[in-house]
Amino acid sequence: MDYRIALIPGDGIGPEVIEQTVRVLDKIGNKYGHRFLFTGVPAGGCAIDGTGECLPAKTIEVCRESDAVLLGAVGGPKWDHLPGKERPEMALLGLRGALGLFANLRPAILFEQLADACPLKPELVSGGLDIVVVRELTGGIYFGEKDTVQTADGMEAYDVERYSEMEVRRIAKVAFDMAMKRNRRVTSVDKANVLESSRLWRRVVTEVAADYPEVELNHFYVDNAAMQLVREPKQFDVIVTSNIFGDILSDEASQVTGSIGMLPSASLATGNFGMYEPVHGSAPDIAGKDLANPMATILSAAMMLRYTFGLLEEADAVEAAVGSVLSAGYRTADIAKEGEDIIGTKRCGDLIVDAI
């Protein structure tokens, strides 16, 4: 069967990690009888350099015509001088809005082979760690009304946090559906003691929970959730929260694993369409030096195989290949301990392809 994938290599190390991921998908296609059809399109800083805008209309068109989008990374100091609305990172917001990507899934998994990279005490993560942050992605303060105005006290800026019942209900359903396939625990994170939008959030999530009597629901204020993630992380299974809180907590959860270069993410629309990307950034300081870790992008492709294409065996094969490479002691620079042999981006791709 044919699957159409829009490729957005982006900036910095993005093209390098995407290249190795394409090799992995080609190997999966050859082994299991699929054909992945890739169409490369620009977004981010490279698109600004080439077209004058961070998200060309053609890129959106190709993404809409594809079955899924695979993205490397965007941004870098080269474009830091640009106004906010023109920066490379705005391409991500544009893609999320244009493609209806309302649900961001970010697993925070502590790989057994990398347990000593976790910054927490061993007893706090004994037996491993597997948390999924479900972040609402197209509403809230990032997409609300915003402006900068002149006042008697000087310039004043504001950003509006706004949510509708529909937006909260649909992201809550994603979280509860995921919990049903995991450990049946959902933690909803808000700031309902202060924010009106959070009071609406809490009420709607509670209403959705009534349709999932098998799932345990807890409500945490965001400051307590941030503390509990480092105090007792294993109490969490699925965390569902708003755009800005999810942005912060998912980074914290990923850092708890000690290996941000290993972590994938998925941004899903209604139906099976999704955009898949690694959690790490563009790392321009190591771009072109064969130092980048491609595993997070490769694991993002595994999420694509599972969630968009429904290819469960193929997704398992990719994840098992990454695990076997780690078990064999191979490490890229970002996850290597002192004295361990370090492999480069291409060598890492070679090993994973061979392991499939």
The yes-or-no verdict on residue 356 having pLDDT over 80 is: yes
Rounded to an integer, the average pLDDT of 156-174 is 97
Q: Are 334 and 278 in contact (CB under 8 A)?
A: no
Annotated catalytic residue 159: no
Catalytic residue (one of 3, 142, 276, 330) = 142
Annotated catalytic residue 350: no
Provide the whole-model pTM: 0.88
Annotated catalytic residue 316: no
Angle in degrees, 0-180, between the axes of helices 345-355 and 312-327, rounded to the nearest 10: 120
The yes-or-no verdict on residue 289 having pLDDT over 90 is: yes
Q: Are 293 and 335 in contact (CB under 8 A)?
A: yes
pLDDT of residue 111: 83
Convert the pLDDT of each residue in 86-123 to its tens digit: 899 999 989 998 999 999 999 998 888 888 888 888 88
Catalytic residue (one of 223, 285, 316, 354) = 223
pLDDT of residue 198: 98
- Average pLDDT over the chain reads 94
Catalytic residue (one of 3, 191, 212, 330) = 191
pLDDT of residue 339: 80
Q: Where are the alpha helices (DSSP H) in the chain?
A: 14-32, 45-51, 57-65, 90-99, 165-180, 196-209, 222-231, 243-256, 295-307, 312-327, 345-355
Annotated catalytic residue 191: yes
Rounded to an integer, the average pLDDT of 213-235 is 97
Convert the pLDDT of each residue in 186-212 to its tens digit: 999 999 999 999 999 999 999 999 999
Rounded to an integer, the average pLDDT of 177-192 is 96
Catalytic residue (one of 251, 290, 346, 350) = 251
pLDDT of residue 149: 95
In whole angstroms, how far apart are CA 91 and each of 34, 43, 94? 30, 6, 5
Rounded to an integer, the average pLDDT of 233-258 is 93
The yes-or-no verdict on residue 286 having pLDDT over 90 is: yes
The yes-or-no verdict on residue 259 having pLDDT over 80 is: no
pLDDT of residue 127: 80
Rounded to an integer, the average pLDDT of 239-244 is 98
Question: Which of 50, 29, 48 lies closest to 38 in space, CA to CA?
Answer: 29
The string of DSSP codes covering 212-248 is: -TTSEEEEEEHHHHHHHHHH-GGG-SEEEE-HHHHHH
The yes-or-no verdict on residue 352 having pLDDT over 80 is: yes
Annotated catalytic residue 334: no
pLDDT of residue 217: 98
The yes-or-no verdict on residue 57 having pLDDT over 90 is: yes
The yes-or-no verdict on residue 27 having pLDDT over 90 is: yes
Catalytic residue (one of 247, 276, 307, 334) = 247
The yes-or-no verdict on residue 1 having pLDDT over 90 is: no
The yes-or-no verdict on residue 63 having pLDDT over 90 is: yes
pLDDT of residue 326: 93
In whole angstroms, how far apart are CA 40 and each of 62, 84, 203, 243? 9, 26, 43, 28
